[in-house]
């Protein structure tokens, strides 16, 4: 996973690469299927608390951006 990747891209990639169905992810994370499906289609964004649940589940580490702060406020890295 790119260490300088926007949160939405990192979450989408983690969901796609997990091999889990949306239903299984709902069961494991408590995040509704509808929220995840809309997010994956790009028709809605995720609330911060929901993004946090998914980032925690996928062991993604949220850090301040190291580049120009006006382009992206936060980046995600895959935790170890």
Confidence bin at 79 (pLDDT 50/70/90): low
Which residues face 64 on adjacent strands? 74
Report the alpha-carbon distance of residue 60 to residue 71 in Å, rounded.
Answer: 20
Q: Model confidence over 58-73: pLDDT tens digits?
A: 999 877 766 655 444 4
Residue 36 near residue 61, CB atoms below 8 Å = no
Domains of the chain are: 5-78 (1.10.260.40)
Q: Model confidence over 29-45: pLDDT tens digits?
A: 999 999 999 999 999 99
pTM, rounded to two decimals: 0.74
């Amino acid at each position: 996973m790119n260490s300088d990747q926007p949160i939405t891209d990192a979450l989408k990639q983690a969901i796609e690469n997990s091999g889990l169905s949306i239903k299984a992810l709902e069961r494991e994370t408590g995040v509704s299927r509808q929220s995840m499906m809309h997010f994956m289609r790009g028709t809605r964004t995720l609330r911060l608390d929901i993004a946090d649940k998914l980032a925690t589940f996928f062991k993604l580490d949220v850090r301040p951006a190291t580049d120009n702060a006006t382009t992206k406020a936060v980046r995600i890295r895959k935790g170890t």
